[in-house]
Amino acid sequence: MISRRNFALLAVGIGLTLSVPANAADLELLQPGKLQVATQGTFAPFSMRGPDGALDGLEIRVVKEIARRLKLEYTPVITQFDAALVGLLAGQYDMTSISMDITAARQKQVTFADGWLASGAMILTRKGTGIRTGDDLKGKNVGAVAASTFGKIAEQNGATLKSYKAEVDAVQDLVNDNLDAVITDAVAANYAIKARKLPLVTGEGTLSQVQKGFAIQKGKPNLTRAINGALADMIADGTYAKLTSDLIGFDPHPKEPIRSEL
């Protein structure tokens, strides 16, 4: 008979996830019973404020459900995107839910839970600019969130980059004719047009294919496995699809998620 320990090692080896009991001592949390999570609160539809002022959005819903399943108190910590990893490495919170692409460079700094959302970079512009593809960005004034992969894409395509603390400010400058385009997340771009009824259009397709990940300090394998287990369970029982589809109209879970490097 295979032991529980050997089964766990086998499961990790073949890419499976196991739920870990939400015991504060086992989960390597900063504060027992609390899951402290960095988020922006200003990047719809990932994190935003509802009519009552409460936090809502894709990442908020998913991580709240993860915390509930682990019997932990979800505790949001508001921060800017460009400060999220700095704060994580300084031990200011347990994880980030902030809409962050999983990249090789970031994987050297932190551990990502299994990819939870598939998306890509997309051009957002006004009607009549003629900007449809990456080639059209050359020489244009393009906005993007500071420290994001979007700014690098703009510069790689020959654009003059203007960095912003919050995506909402970049979009407002675009609406006000202070920018030629904004590069942002594809889910966010389409949501901005449909839900906020902005007078903008998207480019043709995406400029990249990415997966979003929840970042965790290296050296916390139990917390990572617990998050992966809760995420896998909510995907399997349909909760993930219900929570996300209700907001954006489709299930954005990756068909082949990037797995944690433990």
- Each residue's pLDDT tens digit, 30-59: 999 999 999 999 999 999 999 999 999 999
Asked if 30 and 73 count as a contact pair (C-beta separation under 8 A), the reply is no
Asked if 234 and 66 count as a contact pair (C-beta separation under 8 A), the reply is yes
Using the 8-state DSSP alphabet, how is residue 90 labeled? T
The pTM (predicted TM-score) of the whole model is: 0.88
CA distances from 125 to 104, 142, 190, 201, 217 (A): 29, 9, 12, 6, 36
pLDDT tens string 169-225: 999 999 999 999 999 999 999 999 999 899 999 999 999 999 999 999 999 999 999
CA distances from 206 to 134, 189, 202, 245 (A): 9, 11, 9, 21
Q: What is the residue whose two structure tokens read 């394998």?
A: 221
